[in-house]
Structure 1
Amino acid sequence: MGERFQPTSQRLLHLDVLRGFALLGILLVNFEWFVRPLQAIVLGAEPDLAGASLVVDWLIKALAEGKFYALFSMLFGAGFALMAERAHKKDVPFWGVYLRRLILLLLFGIAHMLLIWAGDILVVYSLSAFVMVLLFRKTPIQRLWKWALVFFILPIALMWLGALSIAATQFDPEIHTSIMAEFETDLDEFREGIEQAQRIHNEGSWRDNVGQRLSDATFILTNFVFWVPPILGFFLLGRWLVASERLTRPAEHQLFFRRWRSRGLLFGLPLSLAGTTLMYRAVQMVPTLELALGLTLFMAGSIFLALAYLSMVTLGAERLRFLAPAGQMALTNYLTQSLFWTWMMYGHGLGLGVVVPRWSHLVLALAFFAVQVAFSHWWMARFRFGPFEWLWRSLTYLQLQPLSRHA
């Protein structure tokens, strides 16, 4: 029992391929927010989009937004389950090591959020994982997916509660007019804040942007009630996929993945397309019935499509194995994406955000990801971990991990 839990070299190819695939989708979605202020997410799509830019923006929202963070969240939950399972088999302590790992991830996320880009997901992941460890450490396998459903429903229920409350005020025109006037005033102030943030992104110094990111962080924290529950739900779903051996023995569960490939596309595509249509230019500060319906359809579509993507890539992992090195250094690649593209797009860097059209984001993201895959192959052929993965592991296990493959 005195043996210390150590990282293992055992890796599952399809999980690394899935992480690499998820990285591409995350970059496609994040690209818009390397150019626009993060708060503008509540205003819907840019009103002046047209032509190829409109098509690219709409397709990314319908097919990628919400789907790849869901996929990556499932993989995060699966990673937790694998680490816990291996520690249990070795009969060595695990929880202290994992909590230290989460604290470090939280610190990485805070630094990333404030110093580089406010759209960081690491803070939300680490805080959601703390909740998972605190409340669901010993939850039986058969209950994990049921709790996941509860957390998927929670933000939708809150949106419907708000929308129905606003709709009910229409029976009293005076109250309804007063409430809508307050929303309009808040919206005007919010738009002014977005315009100021855009000016800072385009023209401000790096220090100015750090100040803006402090404001952005406040916006993110105040919306945790809508972001944490779905992420926690996907964590639990990922744990269930490992506990039920579907992700650890995929060859024995091909029927499951073939079924979810079909079901996910059959239900996910129409749900996501319908939800995107309803929400595309909707102002999300006002909880209307149309917005609540759009969010419900969009989130349901995201769940189905995320499972379809997971199933498709798992079944085709051998053909997609070229993505595995990128997935092995997913943290490094994720941080590199925001570090490079904020420098390219923001005014304290090259300031390209004001000149590149929306359609070009697709081309730039694909090209950059191709470079990341190539670099990941070069790096992983020489080293055991990516740079940030090595730092994270060394700090987690309180000793320097061997880095070179030839040492």
Structure 2
Amino acid sequence: MSTTTFSPVAANERIVTLDVIRGVALLGIFLMNVEFFNRPIADLDAGLPLGVTGIDHWAGWFVHVFVRGKFWTMFSLLFGMGFAVMLTRAELAGRDFFKPYVRRTLALAVFGALHYILLWAGDILFAYSIGAAFLLVIFHARPKVMVFIGVAAIACGAVLGGLTAAGVAKLPWPPFLALGVPVLLLGVCAWALRRQPLKALRNLGLMLYLVPCLGLMVVGALSPQVPQAERDRVALSEAATPAKQAEVRKDIAETQKARKEHVDEIANEARVMSKGSYAEALAWRVEHFPKQASQDVGFALFFVTGMFLLGAWFVRSGLMANPGAHLDVFRKLALFGLPMGLGISVIAAAIATTHLPGQNDALFQFSMGLSLLGNLAACLGYVGVVVLLFHSRWRAWVAPFAPAGRMALTNYLTQSLVGTLFFYGYGLGHYGTGRAWQVLFVVVVFAVQLVVSRWWLSRFRYGPMEWLWRSFTYLRLPSMRQQRLQPA
């Protein structure tokens, strides 16, 4: 893919700008994550908890509207920018890109798996590694081969599914669809990228992110806006035969069983993390990791890969190569993205902030889709604000975020270590701390991270985990110490 239209300049400035944004994103992610050091991960998609009042309610509402979903998207955007920076530098220098990035992705997958199992089940690094693998496929795979494999797999799944539905035999059709859909989608993305190398990055990124958002909204809007119990009563009354009634009762029983199992799963996780030993928590995470890894595939295919592609567009278009020369673009992002994104988030919160299973399922689903839509606009607006601040007289207020951003992986993992040791039962046991105190905890810990990051980078070139990641990527141990000039 040609890069002759791009002229990356001011490399130091570009790196600092990205690191400042990354540091801000790190704070936002911590503000969101801290809630789930005090609440089961299984309850992640339930919105705000019921029964919270006073300052804790408003702290939770503030994070829900202004923070949640806005900063993992920003972090994903930055990951895509990093991919494009690495690719562009490799192209300009004539170096191999594929093998080092494969090693980089594998290392990230290992970090993510170990983070999930050893520290905290809210890990996003493993999903990022899947998204990075998808990104490599889009950039390097042969589109025609991918499309052929995808179509063939979907066709096999459809035929086997049809035979199963007809009662001919019980055939394994779901794996074919599970393989065919992502392969076809990635193949189409790879084809589009070959046709329009720059425009496709932006358009594909937006498409991948927005499709599930709009899907949630459409399904939520079209689904019956009545409680599950009423829907069950109507279904039973409309069943024309005893056999049909038995079938409806079976479906109702299965739904109730699944809902009870989910409630039990939430209660069990809360018990283990609030009162259990580290061995119990470790065993719980080992048991649940395979399920989470499989769920990460769908999340990574649409949301993560979409943001990665959008981030790559920011770099390949030249916007992040020299952001100071494109402040008008970032001003538009701030002026339109932030009010639009936060406005949509406020509307989504007004529609539904808490999921009450069996009562407001459709309404909450619509609200989730709307909120995800707002997250993208707000994320871009936040990026615009940070870039404008960094290139203004307010630079001194955001520049301190840069060292934390340069050590983002180390700081992210440290937040999980400190958070679990402070809140979980096998640590200091403050599980269930109120939301307002959680926010204060984040502010204090992150302030310490800002100071420690600056101190560390005044002596060393990389954060500890960044050094390890870089070593695995390039298969050599880079110098850790800062080189100091010797006096004449």
CA 1:331–1:286 in 2, change beyond 3 Å: closer, same or farther?
farther
For 1:338, the equivalent position in structure 2 comes to 416
Partners of 1:19 and 1:125 in 2: CA distance: 15
Partners of 2:37 and 2:401 in 1: CA distance: 24
Partners of 2:283 and 2:219 in 1: CA distance: 32
Residue 41 of structure 1 and its aligned partner are, at CA, apart by 1.5
Q: 1:217 is matched with which residue: 283, 289, 292?
A: 289
Residue 13 of structure 1 and its aligned partner are, at CA, apart by 1.3
Q: Aligned residue pairs: how many? A: 398
Matched, 1:141 2:198: yes
Matched, 1:254 2:311: no
CA 1:63–1:296 in 2, change beyond 3 Å: closer, same or farther?
same
Asked if 2 retains the 8 angstrom alpha-carbon contact of 1:42 and 1:284, the reply is: no
For 2:406, the equivalent position in structure 1 comes to 328
For 2:365, the equivalent position in structure 1 comes to 292
Partners of 1:154 and 1:343 in 2: CA distance: 38
Partners of 2:198 and 2:450 in 1: CA distance: 35
| Amino acid across the alignment from 2:216 | M
Q: 2:38 is matched with which residue: 35, 38, 49?
A: 35
Partners of 2:444 and 2:209 in 1: CA distance: 34
Partners of 2:298 and 2:306 in 1: CA distance: 12
Partners of 1:50 and 1:287 in 2: CA distance: 21
Residue 117 of structure 1 and its aligned partner are, at CA, apart by 0.4
SS at match of 1:128: helix
For 1:3, the equivalent position in structure 2 comes to none
Could you tell me the TM-score, scaled by structure 2's length?
0.77
For 2:479, the equivalent position in structure 1 comes to 402
Partners of 1:206 and 1:135 in 2: CA distance: 40
RMSD: 2.4
Partners of 1:184 and 1:361 in 2: CA distance: 34
SS at match of 1:167: coil
For 1:193, the equivalent position in structure 2 comes to 265
CA 1:81–1:14 in 2, change beyond 3 Å: closer, same or farther?
same
CA 1:71–1:284 in 2, change beyond 3 Å: closer, same or farther?
farther
Residue 43 of structure 1 and its aligned partner are, at CA, apart by 2.9
| Amino acid across the alignment from 2:112 | G
Instruction: Return the index of the structure with the highest Cα Rg.
Output: 2
Q: Deviations over 1:69-98 (max 9, x none)?
A: 000000000000000000000011111001
For 1:5, the equivalent position in structure 2 comes to none
For 2:172, the equivalent position in structure 1 comes to none
Asked if 2 retains the 8 angstrom alpha-carbon contact of 1:44 and 1:284, the reply is: no
For 1:52, the equivalent position in structure 2 comes to 55
Q: Deviations over 1:200-236 (max 9, x none)?
A: 1011111100111134424533533652211111101
For 1:231, the equivalent position in structure 2 comes to 304
Partners of 1:233 and 1:113 in 2: CA distance: 23
Partners of 2:357 and 2:73 in 1: CA distance: 21
SS at match of 2:106: helix
Larger RCO: 1 or 2 (CA < 8 Å, sep 6+): 1
Could you tell me the TM-score, scaled by structure 1's length?
0.92
For 2:467, the equivalent position in structure 1 comes to 390
